[in-house]
Chains A and B, each alone.
Chain A
């Protein structure tokens, strides 16, 4: 089946089997490997991407279901300058040491970006609940929460610069 998906503003199409998971399509067909896979059963949240602006588990969608959709992955968060032009939330993670191995980080960011758009001044409890579907084994979540609260205190929730 031909699937055409707009990923981070670029149209991508490929002939794929219907069973191909969206996560595998993004990672291995489009070779955008920032989206990570930690469980393939919907629990860890590492594979979270935005489909038409909403955070979803890309391991629980078939690529063919994303046909004609707009998908935003972690690669679509920073501005043109890439590493020199981080999204404010990425900056906050860096500032507050919100990542260690970095494996859960893309999923955390893609969960938090739409959350903060909807709720620009959450409490710490709300932040913890917002990421409770994203597992991290390294940080104990402490510095992730601090990063988000830091971002919130700055008062700029900043939407994804490129898309969604």
Chain B
């Protein structure tokens, strides 16, 4: 289990990275935390000819608040986000989800950008970003653009980021008053990729009705799956156990077509989604209530 040879390029800036990607266009990969890429290389499942190492691109290592958004640089370590006070305050859903990613040793290396671009359907961050309605800034030879999370994840391990492009940062809107959130997942063992999971961001209006909900599911599709049907059931309604159950049913039966694998069959996944969505909504609306939408 030793990686195949490759050429190694160290980038110190976004410019250098893009130059490196352009130069070796045919078979090059960005090396961020390496926590997904290096295992794949050790198994020789991935054999890129060139790696452009972005660990030294300090300009992409940040967590800051700007224009009502929380902005996180792509090369920021997951561990940094986990410990960030701003994240805890402004994006509690993200804060809640991060410890479910693997183990501290892996979060010490793994980056936010790496997780998003790798886009594993069982990964936590993609679903969290979808639930939060985040947007991503991408730069490539053709310039820069912002892409909404909903459009960022395009297929199995596939995103809007082209092979000659770099994800620069992700911007998360600040949680509004009356917002509630919950992240729940079921793993075989602590730190494993989940058999199923849910990231829910909900909001109450002044009359105590659901003003909107974004529920993103992990491990049930090619990437994060936005449970639009479930959100439709909730919006405009007064929260109740029955409502949550109905929304959970919609999520499990209308919104997803889950795959089966050795840890969880498709029917079991569907069942877990129903349970988890129900539990997550209960918790999220409790929190929304507590955060004082009516005040």
- A residues contacting B by CB (< 8 A) are 1, 17-19, 21, 24, 40-42, 45, 48, 54-57, 59-62, 64-65, 111, 115, 129-130, 132-133
Contact = CB atoms under 8 A, between A and B. Distances in A.
A127 to B, nearest CB: 12
Nearest to B41: A19
Contacts, number: 78
Interface in B67-118: 79, 102-106, 108-109
B108 A54 contact: yes
Main secondary structure of the interface of B (DSSP, over half): loop
A21 B8 contact: no
Nearest to B42: A40
A160 B109 CA distance: 21
Given A65-B55, A129-B190, A41 B105 contact: no
Main secondary structure of the interface of A (DSSP, over half): mixed
Interface stretch (B32-40, B130-138, B139-147, B176-184): B32-40
A7 to B, nearest CB: 18
B104 A60 contact: no
A133 B7 contact: no
Contact of A60 (B35, B55, B79, B189): B35
A17 B8 CA distance: 9
Contact of B38 (A17, A54, A61): A61
Given A133-B104, A133-B105, 9 more contacts: A1-B8, A19-B4, A40-B2, A45-B103, A48-B105, A60-B39, A62-B34, A65-B53, A133-B102
B295 interface: no
B42 A57 contact: no
Interface in B158-196: 189-191
Nearest to A131: B103
Contact of A40 (B1, B8, B109): B1
Nearest to A58: B105
A130 B104 contact: yes
A133 B190 CA distance: 8
Contacts of A59: 38, 42
B105 A21 contact: no
A153 B41 CA distance: 43
18 contacts: A18-B5, A18-B8, A19-B3, A19-B6, A21-B42, A40-B1, A40-B39, A40-B42, A42-B38, A54-B79, A55-B104, A56-B109, A111-B105, A115-B104, A132-B103, A133-B104, A133-B105, A133-B106
Nearest to A110: B105
A21 B3 contact: yes
A55 to B, nearest CB: 5
Nearest to B108: A54
A48 B38 CA distance: 15
A102 B258 CA distance: 42
Given A19-B2, A54-B108, A115-B104, A60 B38 contact: yes
A163 to B, nearest CB: 17
B34 A61 contact: yes
Given A17-B5, A18-B7, A61-B38, A55 B189 contact: no
A57 B5 contact: no
A41 B8 contact: no
